[in-house]
């Protein structure tokens, strides 16, 4: 099991480089956006981004999930290359049809979203960018199935370089506004495709597996419904704010959410890329349940360290990246959004039992119920608390989502999760964050020093509450003895990524 966790760490770190490069352009460009766009314009961008997520969820049909499942299935033995060809061609066809179908309705969609037809061209660019990313999902998924993290990273670095350069050129120098952002995304996606075209062709056999595709689509139907509902769960906060508030509310919330969501983009997505193939590979291992249980504990522990850091320094982070004072108050939503991301991560791990037992209908049920609850909460909380109310709705919804998933997954495939330890992780992190708020009024240097100490104290406070098992204490001491000598740092680092 220890070898599996070491492999998971190595691949997560490598995938992290790729994921970092994919999203770094948007993160690095935040100061440019806040300088170039008003809060209301940032709200337009926020609505376009969540609409892109809806487009990808609706037309993606969760086909990549079925590809994951069928790639290792006995029925696909000897057909992996033709299966990849089939799903890729099918996805390209769906993307082309979706774009052509959307063209006559661009002005209507602009009026629906923004109460004006003036943004129809932006919606067209959003469709092109989203559908390109959708098509690239299949080679991206195959890279993960074949555990090719370095090629994944190369492709994403190229995407970063082209996207960054094109976006800066059009936004900063040509003053193209939000259009420039989508020009950068489209060119970046094409660069990604150029790197992977040879890899994709090498893994294709030109045979259309119609029967397998039909089985996959039947399998995907509940996942498709739950996928759309899940995306709606994640984006209805922006839509609700535009209806119950105004575009400035959407912009301020979108800015805070984009910063807080870096926890999901840079850490959780990277780990999930490595985890998903490993979960299926461990299905028949004799100690698989213990592995899944420890996975949730250690995953939550690592995530909470980063989550605590982002919450404690939330005020400083929002002011660092904002070039206008009107963006500063976005940090108020940080703790709610970040804890909702943590519960979402825990939900993903808890879904393991339902995925292994193929209970996709239950997954769809939990997502749809949670989405409905979220809409009700948004209608109640936004009029009362504004942006913070939208963030509160997301947190409560994700807690419910995790609870439902955990309950039904345990009924189908019982895993001895260490929920007592996980609750201790969550409560201790929340307590340290509340303590950190006392120091927000201090001067910069002493404030940063005290907040840093609070973050560093997190694992030690857990030790006082007897969080660690004896074998874990021994491993931590062994790791300290191994890494405490700076002269051997590079040797240990190389061993970490080669063993």
pLDDT in tens, 302-342: 999 999 999 999 999 999 988 888 999 999 999 999 999 99
pLDDT higher for 491 or 34? 34
Task: Please state the rounded mean pLDDT for residues 214-239.
Answer: 80
- 99-113, 185-199, 206-220 — which is least confidently predicted? 206-220
Between 115 and 66, whose confidence is greater?
A: 115
Q: Which of the residue ranges 45-49, 61-65, 400-404 would you say has the lowest mean pLDDT?
A: 61-65
Range with lowest mean pLDDT among 106-110, 162-166, 351-355, 399-403: 351-355
Q: How far apart are CA 352 and CA 359, in angstroms?
A: 10
Task: Give the up-direction half-sphere exposure of residue 313: CA atoms within 13 A in the CB hemisphere.
Answer: 19
Query: What pLDDT does 304 receive?
Result: 96
Angle (CA) 178 28 126, round 5°: 30
Q: Is the dihedral of CA 274, 71, 130, 51 positive or negative?
A: negative
Per-residue model confidence (pLDDT) at position 18: 47
Mean pLDDT of 143-160: 79
Average pLDDT, the chain: 85
Residue 259 contacts residue 313 (beta carbons within 8 Å): no
Percent of the chain with pLDDT over 70: 87
pLDDT given at position 270: 72
pLDDT at 11 over 60: no
Q: Which of 119-133, 350-364, 426-440, 447-461 has the lowest mean pLDDT?
A: 350-364
Which range of 251-265, 380-394, 466-480, 485-499 scores highest in mean pLDDT? It is 380-394
- pLDDT value at position 474? 82
Question: pLDDT category, 443, cuts 50, 70, 90?
Answer: very high
If we measure between CA atoms, which residue out of 399, 282, 281, 279 comes closest to residue 336?
399
The residue count of the chain comes to 499
pLDDT of residue 417 exceeding 50, the answer is yes
pLDDT at residue 267 in the model: 82
Q: What is the pLDDT of residue 352?
A: 83
Q: At residue 209, what are phi and psi to the nearest 5 degrees?
A: -90, 80
SS (H, E, C) the chain: CHHHHHHHHHHHHHHHHHHHHHHHHHHHCHHHHHHHCCHHHHHHHHHHHHHHHHHHHHHHCCHHHHHHHHHCCHHHCCCHHHHHHHHHHHHHHHHHHHHHHHHHHHHHHHHHHHCCHHHHHHHHHHHHHHHHHHHHHHHHHHHHHCCCHHHHHHHHHHHHHHHHHHHHHHHHHCCCCHHHHHHHHHHHHHHHHHHHHHHHHHCCCCCCCHHHHHHHHHHHHHHHHHHHHHHHHHHHHHHHHHHHCCHHHHHHHHHHHHHHCHHHHHHHHHHHHHHHHHHHHCCCCCCHHHHHHHHHHHHHHHHHHHHHHHHHCHHHHHHHHCCCHHHHHHHHHHHHHHHHHHHHHHHHHHCHHHHHCCCHHHHHHHHHHHHHHHHHHHHHHHHHHCHHHHHHHHHHHHHHHHHHHHHHHHHHCCCCCCHHHHHHHHHHHHHHHHHHHHHCCCCHHHHHHHHHHHHHHHHHHHHHCCCCCHHHHHHHHHHHHHHCCHHHHHHHHHHHHHC
Q: What is the pLDDT of residues 68-106, one digit of tens each?
A: 777 766 666 778 888 889 889 999 999 999 999 999 999
Instruction: Return the higher-pLDDT residue of 363 and 461.
Output: 461
What whole-number distance in Å separates Cα of residue 136 and Cα of residue 193? 7
Q: Which residue has the tokens 């660690």?
A: 468
Q: For residue 217, how many C-alpha atoms fall within 13 Å in the half-sphere facing its CB?
A: 11
Of 284 and 203, the structure prediction assigns the larger pLDDT to 203
Distance of alpha carbon 471 from alpha carbon 460, whole angstroms: 16
| pLDDT > 80? residue 57 | yes
386 — alpha (psi -120 to 50), left (phi > 0) or beta? left
Q: Give pLDDT tens digits for 367-397.
A: 888 989 999 999 999 999 999 999 999 999 9
What are φ and ψ of residue 87, in 5° steps? -70, -35
Residues whose CB is less than 8 angstroms from the CB of residue 32 and which lie 6 or more positions away in sequence, other chains included: 168, 171, 172
Query: Is the confidence at residue 28, as pLDDT, over 90?
Result: no
**pLDDT value of position 101:** 95
Q: Report CA dihedral (313, 317, 240, 125) to the nearest 10 degrees.
A: -150
Contacts of 105 (CB under 8 A, 6+ apart): none
Which has more pLDDT, 498 or 177? 177
Q: Is the pLDDT of residue 6 over 70?
A: no
Using pLDDT thresholds of 50, 70 and 90, give the confidence band for residue 486.
low
Q: Tokens 């090719």 map to which residue?
A: 148
Residue 467: both structure tokens together: 């969080």
CB-CB contact of 137 with 60 (8 Å):
yes
- The yes-or-no verdict on residue 491 having pLDDT over 70 is no
């Amino acid at each position: 099991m220890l070898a599996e966790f070491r492999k998971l760490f190595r691949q997560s770190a490598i995938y992290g480089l790729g994921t970092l490069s994919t999203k770094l352009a948007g993160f690095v460009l935040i100061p440019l956006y806040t300088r170039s766009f008003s809060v209301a314009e940032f709200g337009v961008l926020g609505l376009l981004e969540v609409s892109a997520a809806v487009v990808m969820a609706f037309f993606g049909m969760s086909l990549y999930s079925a590809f994951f499942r069928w790639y290792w299935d006995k029925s696909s033995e000897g057909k992996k290359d033709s299966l990849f060809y089939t799903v890729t061609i099918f996805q390209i066809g769906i993307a082309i049809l979706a774009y052509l179908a959307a063209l006559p309705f661009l002005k209507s969609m602009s009026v629906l979203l923004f109460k004006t037809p003036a943004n129809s061209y932006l919606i067209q660019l959003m469709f092109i960018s989203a559908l390109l990313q959708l098509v690239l999902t299949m080679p991206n998924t195959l890279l993960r199935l074949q555990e090719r993290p370095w090629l994944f990273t190369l492709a994403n670095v190229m995407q970063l370089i082209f996207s960054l350069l094109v976006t800066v050129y059009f936004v900063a120098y040509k003053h193209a506004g939000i259009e420039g952002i989508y020009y950068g995304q489209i060119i970046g996606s094409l660069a990604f495709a150029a790197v992977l075209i040879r890899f994709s062709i090498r893994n294709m056999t030109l045979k259309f597996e119609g029967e397998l595709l039909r089985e996959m689509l039947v399998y995907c139907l509940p996942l498709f419904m739950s996928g759309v509902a899940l995306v709606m769960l994640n984006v209805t906060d922006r839509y609700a704010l535009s209806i119950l508030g105004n575009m400035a509310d959407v912009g301020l919330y979108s800015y805070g959410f984009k910063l807080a969501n870096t926890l999901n983009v840079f850490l959780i997505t990277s780990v999930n890329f490595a985890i998903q193939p490993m979960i299926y590979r461990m299905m028949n291992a004799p100690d698989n349940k213990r592995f899944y249980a420890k996975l949730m504990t250690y995953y939550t522990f690592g995530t909470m360290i980063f989550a605590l850091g982002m919450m404690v320094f939330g005020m400083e982070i929002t002011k660092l990246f904002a070039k206008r004072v009107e963006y500063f108050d976005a940090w108020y939503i940080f703790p709610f959004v970040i804890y909702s991301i943590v519960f979402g991560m825990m939900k993903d791990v808890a879904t393991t039992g339902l995925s292994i037992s193929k209970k996709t209908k239950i997954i769809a049920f939990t997502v749809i119920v949670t989405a409905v609850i979220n809409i009700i909460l948004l209608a109640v909380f936004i009029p009362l608390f504004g942006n913070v109310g939208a963030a509160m709705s997301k947190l409560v919804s994700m807690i419910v989502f995790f609870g439902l998933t955990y309950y039904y997954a345990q009924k189908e495939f019982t895993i001895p999760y260490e929920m007592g330890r996980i609750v201790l992780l969550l409560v201790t992190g929340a307590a340290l964050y509340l303590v950190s708020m006392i120091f927000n009024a201090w001067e910069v240097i002493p404030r940063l020093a005290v907040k840093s100490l609070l973050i560093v104290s997190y694992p030690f406070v857990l030790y006082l509450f007897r969080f660690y098992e004896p074998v874990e204490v021994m491993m931590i001491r062994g790791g300290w003895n191994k890494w405490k000598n700076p002269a051997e740092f590079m040797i240990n680092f190389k061993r970490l990524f080669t063993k």
